[in-house]
Amino acid sequence: MPLFAPTALFRRVTYITPEYLRAHGIRALILDVDNTLTAHGSQELPPEVEAWLGQMRAAGVRLVIASNNMPRRVAPFAKRVGLDYQAFCCKPSPFGLRRARRSMGVPRGAVALVGDQIFTDSLGANLYGIPMLMVEPMAEDIKPTIRLKRMLEKPILARYDKKGGPRYGWDAEQNENAERTGK
């Protein structure tokens, strides 16, 4: 697996289903916050993401937040959504991901990371040896450093697409290809 490549791309976190997770042996998710569950810096949880969290819980999927942000940003959000969290994870370093996984009590082979960035989330998941379920950012990036990273991500995502990487939630043809190839 290429170091920066995600395992699968999803239009939004809500396109990740319990069926997809079961088919891939995933029983737990490590969740990024900014532009994955909510807009960057927001403490509000969109209703569709709240419903998705409920669907995951009902399916028995274990969930924990792992963010590079400081506790003062992450703790109120985690409390609001009823999840444990690991702050200041220093992704792409795998150590914060390991803490998050251990907090759920699941083996590494049963967990995946859900996030929106190649150079933190995807690289971190690949360094740790777990699947990376990448989502499109929920909102336009406002920080210049993140906008720069997005530009640098484009060739990586183009190569991912050229190699037939699965995408979920864009159109029926892409979804059929993903289902047909089992990716």
For the stretch 54-89, pLDDT in tens is: 999 999 999 999 999 999 999 999 999 999 999 999
pLDDT in tens, 10-22: 999 999 999 999 9
Q: Which two tokens stand for residue 166?
A: 């699965």
Largest Cα span, the chain = 44
- DSSP H or E segment with residue 176: helix 172-181
State what percent of residues in the chain have pLDDT above 70: 93
Angle at the Cα of 101 from the Cα atoms of 50 and 8, rounded to 5 degrees: 65
All structural domains of the chain:
8-172 (3.40.50.1000)
**Which residue has 């702050």 as its token pair?**
87
On whether the CB atoms of residues 113 and 121 are closer than 8 A, the answer is: yes
